[in-house]
Amino acid sequence: MVALLLVCFLMVLAFEATNGFHDASNAVATVIYTHSLKPVPAVVWSGVMNFVGVMAGGIAVAYALVEILPPDVLTPPDGTPAVPMLVSIFAAALFWNILTWAFGIPNSSSHCIVGSLIGVAASDALLKSRSLVHGVDWKQIGTVLEGLAISPVLGCVLAGGLYLLLRVIVRSGALFAAPEADRPPVWWLRGLLILTCSSVSFSHGTNDGQKTIGLIMLTIIGLLPATYALNPQASAQVAQLGAYANAAIPLIQKYGDDVKAHALRSAAELRDAGPLLREQATQLDGQRPGHGAEDRTGARGSDTRSGPERGRERNVRARLRGDIYDIVSQLKHIGELDHADPADKRRAALLRRQMSPPVQYAPTWVRVLSALCLGLGTMIGYKRVVRTLGEGLGKARMTPAQGLSAELVGSVLIGTAGFTGLPVSTTHIVTSGIAGTMLAGGKGLQGGMLTRILLTWVLTLPATMLLSGMLFYLLAKPALA
């Protein structure tokens, strides 16, 4: 099981690199294509700004995607069915990302992940003979897909409008002239393009850079649950879990769905686990930087516990994590019910916020690793996407003004979504923005390439859903394989 989880860990890092092939390449397309920066400095600088964005952007987007999955596949004590779930998600998303990159088609890694998550959620419901209505969180999926659908339209319209505005108020010919071979634009235009590249890279980090963080966390929790199943910074909330669970019980009894009995058992276990929760809170305090845990580990940093003792803690924390997710899932369901009493919905929302910090977090090293993989992927695979955006999308080559407009609008849309927890696609927004400026410039679009891009965008969701769903069904139920 550990070996399989290590494979999953490598797969999630590989997927983040292919995210760099596609999404992060959009951030450097303009500066590289206009020769404002050489490829290596552009990619390195983009990686730095991606890193800053990941660190500044929080984890709202990461867990907005993770919450598409049913709670039982998020918190298995022994890694099952976490391994089939992770393998299915990453294999499907990786395959589609690499396939579209090989053809030089700008594709959304966000779309790949969302489709793979939906496929696993639907397949899990079928395996448990649950209705797809209750077994899949369609409201959460709808919220995610709404952002993915609306943002490209906004990118196209707003970037096209900004380009027309520039045509009216700016008279510099350099802004609207196609780049010359190996000759950078004038200094002020070069500075503007580097600035917009920086803003898109930062925004990309705040949104797309988060998307695999939640999945990285699921993988390392499967590998090291005693260390990562609960957030060391949330010891106060862990100590109060019994009280939160007790308050949630009447709400779940009143409004719970077809798995409320399971959630009620989890809530009762937390309610009655007072001494255990206080022990775990104390141990989590010992994991925090600057806190010792000499009573458990002897000298700081050296774990002297026996193997059985470490195994017990691993199982305890995994079980607590599972109980929390069971309850949080029901509280989220209550908040989505139209017929629920408004006061009960507010109470459910408050309890959900109070119970989520112990299980929704990401250590600094996970964020750094995500940003590094993004940067590495961009450095390896940027050329195909840059060439498509610069020359293959419009009937005329992209001008600095068009790239500037698309990136400025893109950075605002992506950054806003990142800080509000709404996943959007950098690829869709920037590509649509460039298309909007091409239309506004009157040169038109290349029909063949546009058809390929749109067809890919339409097929991404069903293709990844089908691939991940079939894989999960076969791996989670080997008897049918």
How confident is the model at residue 295, as a pLDDT?
Answer: 42
- Distance (Å, whole) CA 9 – CA 195: 34
CA 169 to chain centre: 39
Q: How far is CA 355 from CA 35, 159, 190, 312, 433, in A?
A: 50, 41, 48, 23, 40
Q: Are 16 and 96 in contact (CB under 8 A)?
A: no
- Closest CA relative to residue 170, chosen from 178, 162, 160: 162
Phi/psi at 445 (5° precision): -120, 155
Cα 477 to Cα 331: distance, rounded to the nearest angstrom: 29
3-state secondary structure 68-80: CCCHHHCCCCCCC
Report how far residue 246's alpha carbon sits from residue 44's, in angstroms, rounded to the nearest whole number. Answer: 51
Q: Are 436 and 442 in contact (CB under 8 A)?
A: no
pLDDT at 302: 44
pLDDT at 184: 78
So what's the pLDDT on residue 297?
A: 39
pLDDT per residue rounded down to tens, the chain (481 residues): 677 778 878 888 888 777 776 665 677 777 877 788 887 788 788 878 877 887 777 777 777 777 777 776 666 545 455 678 888 888 998 898 888 877 777 677 778 888 898 898 888 888 887 777 766 777 777 777 777 788 889 999 999 999 999 888 887 677 787 776 667 778 888 898 899 888 888 887 777 767 778 778 878 887 777 788 899 999 999 999 999 999 999 999 999 888 889 899 999 999 999 889 999 989 888 776 655 444 443 333 444 545 565 567 677 888 898 899 899 989 988 988 889 999 999 999 999 999 999 988 888 888 888 878 877 776 676 666 666 665 556 666 778 888 889 889 988 888 787 666 677 777 778 888 888 988 888 777 777 777 877 888 888 889 999 999 999 988 887 644 4
Which of 217, 26, 142 shows the shortest CA–CA distance to 422? 142
DSSP 263-293: HHHHHHHHHT-HHHHHHHHHHHHHHSTT---
What does the pLDDT read at residue 307?
54
25-33 vs 39-56: helix crossing angle, rounded to 10 = 150
Locus of tokens 């990309």: 204
Beta bridge partners of 445: 394
Contact between 321 and 255 (Cβ < 8 Å): no
Terminal Cα distance for the chain, rounded = 19
Residues constituting the chain:
481
| Prediction pTM value | 0.75
Enter the tokens of residue 237: 């909330």
Answer whether the bond into residue 81 is a cis peptide, omega within 30°: yes
Q: Which amino acid is at 127?
A: L
The pLDDT value recorded for residue 298 is 37
Query: Token digits for 261?
Result: 């009995």
Q: Is 301 exposed, middle or buried (0-12, 13-18, 19+ CB in 10 A)?
A: exposed
Q: Please give the Cα distance from 415 to 412 (Å, whole number).
A: 5
Three-state secondary structure of 188-227: HHHHHHHHHHHHHHHHHHHCHHHCCHHHHHHHHHHHCHHH
Residue 397 CA: distances (Å) to CA of 34, 162, 272, 400: 10, 18, 67, 10
Decide if 210 contacts 54 (C-beta within 8 A): yes
Describe the chain by its helix, strand, coil percentages, rounded to 5: 75, 0, 20
Locate all alpha helices (DSSP H) within 128-137, ordered by sequence: 132-135
d(CA 384, CA 166): 29
The closest alpha carbon to 211, from 292, 108, 309, 119, belongs to: 108
